[in-house]
C-alpha cells in the first residue's frame, strides 16, 4: 500500500466502525443490519485500501459491540469476501457483491446461534442472508449511481478538455 492510499484506508475503516457503533441499529429478524456493510461495493472502485479499511473497521466494531470471541473470526471471513469483490470487479461488481453476501451470510448463519443461544439455525440463516442482502445492495445501488455520475461528467468534457 502506498502512502497515498492511507487516506482511503482510514476513511473506510472509520466508515465501517462509526456506521456500526455510532448509528442506531436496524433490526431485521434476528440480525442487525450493519450500516458499515453498505460501502462494500465501493471496494471495486477504491481497491485494496478499502478492503483493508473495511476489515479493520469490522474488527473495531466487533470490539465495541462486546461480542463473544467467535465474532472476531468475522473480519477474516469478510476480508475474503471483499477480496472477491475486488478481483471480480473487472467482470461484474454485482457478482462480487452477491458472492460477498453468500459468504458472509453463511458465516453469520453459523455464528449467530452460537452467540445467541436459543436462536434456531433457520432463523439465523434467513435473517443473516436478508440483513446482508439489504445492506450490501443499498451500497451497490450507491456504487452504481456514483460510477454513472462520474461517467456522465467525463462524457460531458470536450476532447480539448480531456487533453488537459
Res. 20: pLDDT tops 60 = yes
Q: How far apart are CA 59 and CA 61, in angstroms?
A: 5
Q: Are 77 and 103 in contact (CB under 8 A)?
A: yes
| pLDDT at position 51 | 95
- Return the closest-CA partner of residue 51 out of 42, 59, 60, 64: 42
Residue 157, classed as helix, strand or coil, is coil
Q: 133-147: per-residue pLDDT in tens? A: 999 999 999 999 998
Higher per-residue confidence, 151 vs 34: 34
Q: 49-63: per-residue pLDDT in tens? A: 999 999 999 999 888
Q: Does the domain spanning 3-144 belong to CATH 1.10.8? A: no
Buried b or exposed e, range 104-130, using 16+ CB within 10 angstroms = bbbbbbbbbbeeeeebeeebbbbbbbb
**Domain residue ranges in the chain:** 3-144
Amino acid at each position: 500500500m502506498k502512502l497515498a492510499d492511507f487516506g482511503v484506508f482510514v476513511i473506510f475503516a472509520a466508515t465501517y466502525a462509526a456506521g456500526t457503533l455510532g448509528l442506531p441499529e436496524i433490526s431485521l429478524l434476528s440480525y442487525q443490519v450493519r450500516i458499515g456493510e453498505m460501502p462494500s461495493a465501493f471496494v471495486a472502485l477504491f481497491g485494496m485500501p478499502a478492503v483493508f479499511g473495511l476489515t479493520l473497521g469490522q474488527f473495531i466494531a466487533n470490539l465495541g459491540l462486546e461480542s463473544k470471541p467467535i465474532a472476531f473470526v468475522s473480519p477474516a471471513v469478510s476480508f475474503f469476501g471483499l477480496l472477491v469483490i475486488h478481483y471480480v470487479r473487472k467482470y461484474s461488481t454485482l457478482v462480487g457483491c452477491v458472492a460477498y453476501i453468500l459468504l458472509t451470510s453463511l458465516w453469520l448463519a453459523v455464528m449467530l446461534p452460537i452467540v445467541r443461544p436459543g436462536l434456531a439455525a433457520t432463523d439465523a440463516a434467513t435473517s443473516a442472508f436478508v440483513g446482508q442482502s439489504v445492506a450490501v445492495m443499498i451500497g451497490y445501488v450507491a456504487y452504481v449511481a456514483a460510477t454513472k455520475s462520474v461517467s456522465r461528467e467525463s462524457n460531458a468534457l470536450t476532447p480539448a478538455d480531456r487533453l488537459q
